Structure 1
Amino acid sequence: MGKVIAVCAMKGGVGKSSLAVNLAHGMAVKGLRTLIWDIDAQGAVAFLLGVAAADGLARKLFTKGRDVGGYIVPTNWPDLDLIAADLSLRNLESDLAEDSPKRLRKMLDLLRQDYDRVILDCPPGLSGISDQIFRAADLLVVPVVPAPLSFRVLDKMLEYVEETRGPKAPIALPVLSMVDRRKVLHRQMADSAPDWPSIPHSSTIESMGVKRAPVGEYAKRSAAAKALAQVLARVEAVVGG
C-alpha cells in the first residue's frame, strides 16, 4: 500500500505548494509511482507543473459516488500524475460540512492501491478538511518560516492534531522554509531547531513560477535543490523506512 504525505501549513505564503511539487517530483524521479493531489483552491500545483487547471471541475470530485481516477491527469514527467485544483474548491468546507469524516480517507485508500506515494497540497489553516487529512495521512510535512509567531502557530497545530487524533495522530515533520541566514532572527530561530530540514529563501525556487517545472529540472546542482533533496531524504526515512 502506498503512503500519504500531506504538506500543510496554518498560513499561506510559506512555500507549501512549491515544497509539495518538489517532493512529488523527487519521488517520481526515484521511480516511485507518485500522485500529487492539490486540495488548495489557488491551484498552484498545476501551474508550477505546467499543466492546465481543473477548469471548475475540482469540486465535483468530492461529490458522492464520483470515480477518483477520472480526475487524474499525467504530467510531463514519468511516474508523476496530478489531480488539479481550481477556485471551485473555495467552498469545499461548507460542501462537506454534513459529509462523512472518513470520505477523504476512503478516496485515498483507493489511490494507495495504485500509487507508491500520494502527496496532498493542503489548504492553509485548520478546518473540517484538515481533520479529514489528519485522519488519512501517514506523515504531515509542515513548512515553517523562522519567526517566533510561526513557531507558536506550529505548536498550536501539533497540539490540535495530538488532541484530536491521540495515538492515531500522523507523524509530523516541521521544515524550515524561506530561511534567509543574513537575518539575525532567521539565524537564531533556525539554530534553535537544528534537527529540522531547512530550505533557503532562494530565487531558484521562486523561478518555478517562470520555468513551470520543479527545481530539479533546471537547477539540480543549486543549493536549493540540495536542500530539497535533504527534505526528501527525511520524508522517505519516515514513510519508506
Structure 2
Amino acid sequence: MGRAGRDPGRIRFPAHGRDARGRQESGQTTGRRAGAPRSRYDLIFLDCPPSISVLSESLFSLADYVFMPMLPTELSRRAFQQVQEHMEASKYATAEVVAFYNLVDRRKTLHRTNVLRGYAAQPELFCEASIPARTDIERMALEMKPLLEYAPDSDSAAAYGALWREIRRKTAMPAPRS
C-alpha cells in the first residue's frame, strides 16, 4: 500500500489499487490502510492524471478538496464534468472538486476563450489562476526538482505562486509560517 519513498515524509500509493499480494482492494480498505490520512496530514498531493479508480475513490472520500488540473479543451471539460457527476453520485466521495487550467497556451484563441468561459460560468468550480504551457515547467521531469529550485524568478514560478495563493483562499488554509 502506501510506502515511504526517497523523500522523507511522503507516502506513495500504487495507482492500480492492489495490495502487496496483487489483490484488488476496495476504496474503504485503501483508506484504512492509508492510516486515516485526514487526521494525519494537512495536505495530500496526487501527481497523476484525473481518473476514477479504487485509489481515487478512496482518496476522494478522505479529502476535503480535490484540485484537478484541466487542459483548456472540450474533452477535458467533459472529463471534469464526469468526475463531478461521479462525486455527486458517490456515497463515499465528499470532496469539493475544483479545476485549474494547466498547459495553457495564451497564443491560442481557443485556450484563452475556454479559460475565460470556464471561470466566468462557474467561478466556484474553477481557479482563476492557470499554469502556462512552458518549457521550464516541462523541464521539471528532466531536472527531477521543483521549478522553484532551478527557475525561481520565471513567469511559470509566478503562475504556480498565484495558483497556490488561490488554493489557500478557497480552502481557508492559513499562510505558511516563516
TM > 0.5 fold call: yes
TM-score (norm 2): 0.77
Q: Verify the 8 A CA contact 2:26 2:54 in the aligned structure 1.
A: no
Equivalence for 2:146: 214
| 1:42-81 to 2 correspondences below 5 Å | 62=1, 71-73=3-5, 75=7, 81=9
Q: Counterparts of 1:131 and 1:187 in 2: how far apart (Å)?
A: 32
Partner Cα distance (2:27, 2:105) in 1 = 39
Q: Residue 159 of structure 1 aligns to a residue in which SS? A: helix
Question: For 1:114-153, what aligned pairs fall within 5 Å after superposition?
Answer: 114-122=40-48, 124-153=50-79
The partner residue of 1:224 within 147, 156, 176 is 156
The amino acid across from 2:69 in the alignment is P
CA contact (8 A) 1:145 1:177 kept: yes
Distance 2:30 2:165 in 1: 27
Q: Flag the 1:223–1:109 CA change in 2: closer, same or farther, 3 A.
A: same
Structure with greater contact order relative to length (CA < 8 Å, sep ≥ 6) = 1
Partner of 2:17: 92
Aligned to 1:201: 133
C-alpha spacing 1:189/1:129, structure 2 compared with 1 (3 Å): same
TM-score, length-normalised on structure 1? 0.59
Sort the Cα spacing of 1:113 and 1:137 in 2 relative to 1 into closer, same or farther, 3 A. closer
Q: Take 2:36 and 2:52, find their aligned partners in 1: how far apart are those partners?
A: 25
Q: Paired residues, what number?
A: 164
RMSD (Å), alpha carbons: 2.7
